[in-house]
Amino acid sequence: MPGPGARHVMELPLITPAYAQAAGVPATETLIQFVPFVLIFVIMWFLIIRPQQRRAREHQNMIKAVRRGDTVVSSGGIVGRVTKVTDDPEIEVEIAEGVRVKLIRTMISEVRTKGEPVKS
């Protein structure tokens, strides 16, 4: 014979679906839940993504402006003087007296000193 609380436990599964159907979530409450996510994305955009894009654009402009006579630093830490620049993605850099190597332009991490302008 079930005790006094058993009847209440038996009715519980029948009552909860009725409450679940009656309680609807308003559309405005659903939109308010997305506001923090949008706010986090906007903050990340201004603090992380936008400055990173600006640095990448500055690096691209620096690479395009490399000319003969510039002292450059490769991403591996090799310092040299640019001896030959072509339209290819490669440039020729002298890293010691008589030692010339070819570098991919994108591997230049810094231009330390600018060379003299090319005379026309």
Please state the domain count of the chain: 2
Q: What is the mean pLDDT of residues 11-38?
A: 69
Distances from the Cα of 90 to the Cα of 21, 79, 102, 114, angstroms: 68, 16, 6, 18
The residues, any chain, with a CB within 8 Å of residue 71's CB and separated by 6 or more, are 79, 80, 81, 82, 111, 112, 113, 115
User: Residue 14 sits in which domain range?
Assistant: 4-60
Q: Nearest Cα to 80, choosing from 119, 107, 42?
A: 107
Map tokens 């994305």 to a residue: 41
Please state, in angstroms and rounded to a whole number, the distance separating the CA atoms of residues 68 and 84: 6
24-45 mean pLDDT: 85
| 56 and 14 inside one domain | yes
The pLDDT of residue 58 is above 60: yes
The most confident of the ranges 1-5, 41-45, 84-88 is 41-45
**Same domain, residue pair 81 and 101:** yes
Q: Does a structural domain hold residue 15?
A: yes
Nearest-angstrom CA–CA distance, 61 and 64: 5
d(CA 70, CA 117): 10
Q: Residue 39: pLDDT above 90?
A: yes
